[in-house]
Structures are given as structure tokens and as C-alpha cells.
Amino acid sequence: MSEQTEQNENGSVVIAGAGMAGVQTAVALREQGWTGPVTLLGAEPHQPYDRPPLSKAVLLGKAEDSAFDVDFEGLGITLRLGVEVTGLRPADRELDTEAGPVPYGVLVLATGAEPLTLPGAEGVPGVHLLRTLDDAARLRPVIARAPATVVVGAGWIGAEFATAAREAGCAVTVVEAADRVLAGALPAEVAAAMGRWYGEIGADLLTSARVASVEAGRVLLADGRELPAGAVVVGIGARPATRWLAGSGVELGPDGSVTADAHLRTSVPGVYAVGDCASFPSARYGARLLVHHWDNALQGPRVVAANILAGEPVETYDPVPYFWSEQFGRFVQYAGHHADADTLLWRGDPAGQAWSVCWLRAGAMVAILAVGRPRDLAQGRRLIEAGSTVDPARVADPETPLKAAAA
């Protein structure tokens, strides 16, 4: 029996999660011609919203929210908000939720990721995360008072929050346990260039600094230093929000992600996974990728929708990962996956406002980081998608368009 037939017999397509991946899956189903019932379950009570503005416009009071401009009623999408999923029983084709069981014909897991918390800091007054609309709403009046603020974690979210807090007039100290910013994302020589940006806006950056404890009004470091803290913002990463799947039979990886296949199907028939909660095998890079970025949550749903409509795997998912970040007055973009690269090439001076880094493997471009050079990103991304061999000398010349570097 095909998944299409099972869906018609057992009820709607149910999507667990109303973030970008869940909303885009529902919209893609309608755009691609699905006429059956579609139910979208969201754990939060708010209208589904976009997350990138939370650390920018919403946090600084320049926007009240970032709700998606989607006519759910007009599209015939049943939107159930404030309904948190708690379990999955594939044998019964039912989801367990706080509001009772929800039957499904085809299920899409799109529950996203949840932020990591700082051990010992949970429940301490003045400690914040920045992941949800409610988080941003709680933080907005805090930073408006411009307190001394400690940011724990010098990753992407830490950099974006530090930028916003300085714009609001806060004194900012960023504490990073690793020896550099973005330690898990970029090599040392690239991270060093980006670490200098903190000082440019007047933020103090402390690397190789571990938090020993957090108390109301202060942060104590393992080396004995004490930092005054009217507010503490924790940005030390996120993990897939999949703990509710324990015992369901859905295979999870060591990182907690749903181990989807190349068609974004899970190990359980009739169940797909997409977005931040799912990893997928990349033939392009010869690795399983877990991508916690906006573009992944936008692109994957189109593949899921196509495969649901066909009732069989007709499309594979193997994108060139892409993301962007606005920080320290710069627009930073990245495309690709550089883990197995054998060559790193600079385009421009990293001490300047605009430069790029390109990674090659066996003569072909596999990744690019562009700072204030959107044309480099666009052309480099196309070279990566095409698997083109490039001329390293041309790649390293910032005056030569990257598209002209194809060998």
C-alpha cells in the first residue's frame, strides 16, 4: 500500500511543528497540488513566525513580531496552536499531544531545535535564552534599560545579540569557553579575523573563559574573575527537539537528530522529517549533515511535499547548505561544507570591511564565506552546485569575478 493510499484511508497529513520547516511543508503541499487535509501543530500559542528577526528588529523594538504572511484558512490548512507533541505511536498512526491523540495518514516531523542551557543557571533571575518570540519579548525591556550584559557563547547567536545589545547602549562582555569565536564552525585563521569585530563595537570578548556559576547580578568565571551582570544571555548552541520521540521506533543519531534518508523519510513508514530536527545524507559531501539554518528549513519542505504527493520517493534532498548572519555592521554569508577541504584561499584583506574565504577540495570549490561581498557568495554558490574545478589563482584575486575562475 502506498503512502498516498494510506493517507486517504487514515486521515490528514499532520505536521508536528509550526516553525519555518513546518509552515513551508504545509504551504508546499498546497502549492504542489495536495487537496487532502493538512493539519499543522504548533507548541507555542503565537501565530507561526520567522526566527531571524528575533535577534534584530523584534529584540530592539523595531517590530512587534515576525509572523509569516500565510493565509492558513484560505489554503485550507488546519492550524492548531498551543499543542505540544509528547509521543508517537506508529502502530496506531497517532501522535500523542497534551490535548489528546492526533491520528495521521502521513506525518512530518518539523519540531526544530531547542537551545542548550547553561548548567546551574536555570531559574536564576536575569538569565535569558533567545530562541522564541516570548524570549525576545522578555529580553526587549531588559536591554532597553541598558544593563551590564554578559553573553555566554561567541557563536552566531552570541554575535548577533552582542550587536543588538551594544546598539541598545548596553555594556557587553562575551564569554567563550573555546580559544576563539565560532570554534565549532570555522578554522582558527578565519575566526581570528571575525573575533576582532567585538572590540570594534566596544564589546569585551573573553576567550578560553569558562563560567563557574551564575548568580543574581553576577557571573563567576572558573579563573576567579567576577563579571557584573544585570542580564545574562546564554547562546551556547542547540540540539534537535526530538526527545519526545524516545521509544517511537524513529531512529535518532548520536546528535539527537532524526536520521532521515535522502528523500527525508524516517525509519518509520509514512513519517518524514525536515528542518533543524533532521539530518540527511549528502552525496555531494559524502557525509551526514545536520543544518540548523533558515534556508534548510525553506528548501527541505519542497522535497517532502513532492514525495508525499507522489506516494513514493521521487526527489532527493542534497542542497548546498546556506546561511547568513547580520553582525557588527556586516552581512556575513556562507554556502557549502568545508570539513573535508584541502585548500583555503582568501579573497581580499580580512582586516577590511569586505572579503571572502573559499575552500577547495581536489580543485573544486566546496564552500565559501563572504563578508560584505554578496556577489562572491552568489557566484561561488553556483560553482559549488555545479561541482566546477576552479583556477586557484583566479579565486584568490578579489578583482576577478568568481564565475571567471571556473577552469
Picking from 310, 342, 364, the residue at the C-terminal end of a domain is 310
Q: Are residues 102 and 243 in the same domain?
A: yes
Q: Would you say residue 122 lies in a domain? A: no
Q: How far apart are the first and last CA of the chain?
A: 49
Q: Would you say residue 316 lies in a domain? A: no
Picking from 207, 234, 261, the residue at the C-terminal end of a domain is 234
Question: Which pLDDT belongs to residue 7?
Answer: 44
For residue 377, the domain's CATH number is: 3.30.390.30
Fill in the DSSP letter of residue 118. P
Q: Are residues 276 and 348 in the same domain?
A: no
Q: Are residues 50 and 140 in the same domain?
A: no
φ, ψ of residue 315 to 5 degrees: the values are -130, 140
Question: Which pLDDT belongs to residue 64?
Answer: 82
Q: Are residues 208 and 193 in the same domain?
A: yes
Question: Which pLDDT belongs to residue 54?
Answer: 86
Whether residue 270 contacts residue 186, with contact meaning beta carbons closer than 8 Å, is answered with no
Fill in the DSSP letter of residue 36. S
For residue 198, the SS3 value is helix
For residue 102, the domain's CATH number is: 3.50.50.60
Q: What is the pLDDT along the chain (407 residues), one digit of tens a residue?
A: 344 444 444 459 999 999 999 999 999 999 999 999 999 999 999 999 999 888 888 888 888 889 999 999 999 999 999 999 999 999 999 999 999 999 999 999 999 999 999 998 988 999 999 999 999 999 999 999 999 999 999 999 999 999 999 999 999 999 999 999 999 899 999 999 999 999 999 999 999 999 999 999 999 999 999 999 999 999 999 999 999 999 999 999 999 999 999 999 999 999 999 999 999 999 999 999 999 999 999 999 999 999 999 999 999 999 999 999 999 999 999 999 999 999 999 999 999 999 999 999 999 999 999 999 999 999 999 999 999 999 999 999 999 999 999 98
Residue 367 forms beta bridges with which residues? 336, 359
Q: Would you say residue 95 lies in a domain? A: yes
Q: Are residues 353 and 382 in the same domain?
A: yes
Question: Which pLDDT belongs to residue 272?
Answer: 98
Give the global pTM. Answer: 0.94
Question: Which pLDDT belongs to residue 248?
Answer: 97
Picking from 234, 262, 286, the residue at the C-terminal end of a domain is 234
Q: Would you say residue 324 lies in a domain? A: no
Q: Would you say residue 315 lies in a domain? A: no
Q: How many structural domains does the chain have?
A: 3
Q: Would you say residue 121 lies in a domain? A: no
Q: Are residues 132 and 216 in the same domain?
A: yes
Q: Would you say residue 318 lies in a domain? A: no
Cα 188 to the center of its chain, rounded Å: 22
Range of the domain at 383: 329-405
Question: Which pLDDT belongs to residue 56?
Answer: 84
Q: Are residues 139 and 288 in the same domain?
A: no
Q: Are residues 47 and 93 in the same domain?
A: yes
Fill in the DSSP letter of residue 390. B
Q: Are residues 52 and 195 in the same domain?
A: no
Distances (CA, A) of 406 to 334, 373, 376: 19, 18, 13
Question: Which pLDDT belongs to residue 102?
Answer: 97
Q: Are residues 47 and 65 in the same domain?
A: yes
What stretches of 48-201 show up as alpha helix (H) in DSSP?
Answer: 133-144, 156-167, 188-200
Q: Would you say residue 242 lies in a domain? A: yes
Q: Are residues 256 and 110 in the same domain?
A: yes
Residue 361 forms beta bridges with which residues? 364
Question: Which pLDDT belongs to residue 8?
Answer: 41
Q: Are residues 110 and 243 in the same domain?
A: yes
